[in-house]
């Protein structure tokens, strides 16, 4: 008798249960002490691993770990500190400018507001979503290329981009699960369902959701 693939709601239920079993605790992978240091760390993590960011930020925090101090640091010094992260010219300018904006417009505080965050230099929707969820506890579902890839492998979206994938995931999963779930999916992707380590036919979640899948699942690039 042929083995049937799980229906969408069955996949959602299994994914929630299995990720909770595997990752009951979801510490934020980026080292930080407050919303400002988290904002800067997430900005640095664009096209860079969290591990590398955590290696770089101690030297940056020695230079400055708050908007007032950072605004006084020459952009060249910020760039030198963050160079291993890549894209250091753009990122250093963004860190300097956003620090000045926080001082001038937000009393040196990171705004607890998605629209305001997205206006800051170097801060896109995903970065703003991470800050809203992990610094302030507001429900958000930051979707990066890794979550986009897994959501396609697990049949949770047919989205051609991260914007559509975010909408689909928000529709499928309970709002109160979003903040934790986004980290659980990232942890699972790194450990079991990486870009090269799984093609949709290898890891436990892929094979449980799609036991009859024979061919690799091609994912649409974000």
Q: Considering only CA atoms, which of 53, 72, 75 is closest in space to residue 64?
A: 72
Cite the active site residues.
Answer: 126, 144
* 3 state SS of 211: coil
94 and 71 in contact (C-beta within 8 Å)? Answer: no
146: Cβ contacts below 8 Å, ≥ 6 apart: 185, 186, 189, 190, 195
Token duo for residue 122: 């170097």
* 3 state SS of 173: coil
Q: Considering only CA atoms, which of 73, 124, 79 is closest in space to residue 100?
A: 73
DSSP characters over 99-141: HHHHHHHHTTS--S-HHHHHTSTT--HHHHHHIIIIIT-----
CA-atom Rg of the chain in angstroms: 19
């Amino acid at each position: 008798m042929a083995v049937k693939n799980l229906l969408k709601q069955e996949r959602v239920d299994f994914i929630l249960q299995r990720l909770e079993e595997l990752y009951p605790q979801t510490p934020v992978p980026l080292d930080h002490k407050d919303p400002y240091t988290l904002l800067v760390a997430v900005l640095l993590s664009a096209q860079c691993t969290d591990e590398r960011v955590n290696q770089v930020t101690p030297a940056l925090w020695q230079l400055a770990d708050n908007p007032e101090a950072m605004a006084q640091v020459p952009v060249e010094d910020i760039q030198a500190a963050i160079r291993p992260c890549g894209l250091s010219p753009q990122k250093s300018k963004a860190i300097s400018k956003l620090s000045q904006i926080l001082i001038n417009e937000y009393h040196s505080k990171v705004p607890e507001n998605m629209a305001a965050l997205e206006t800051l230099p170097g801060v896109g929707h995903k970065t703003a979503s991470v800050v809203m969820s992990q610094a302030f506890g507001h429900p958000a579902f930051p979707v990066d290329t890794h979550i986009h890839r897994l959501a396609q492998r697990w049949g949770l979206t047919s989205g051609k981009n991260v914007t559509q994938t975010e909408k689909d995931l928000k529709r499928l999963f309970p709002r109160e699960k979003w903040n934790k779930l986004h980290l659980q999916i990232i942890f699972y992707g790194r450990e079991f369902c990486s870009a090269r380590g799984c093609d949709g036919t290898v890891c436990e979640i892929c094979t449980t959701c799609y036991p009859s899948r024979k061919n690799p699942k091609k994912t649409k690039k974000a």
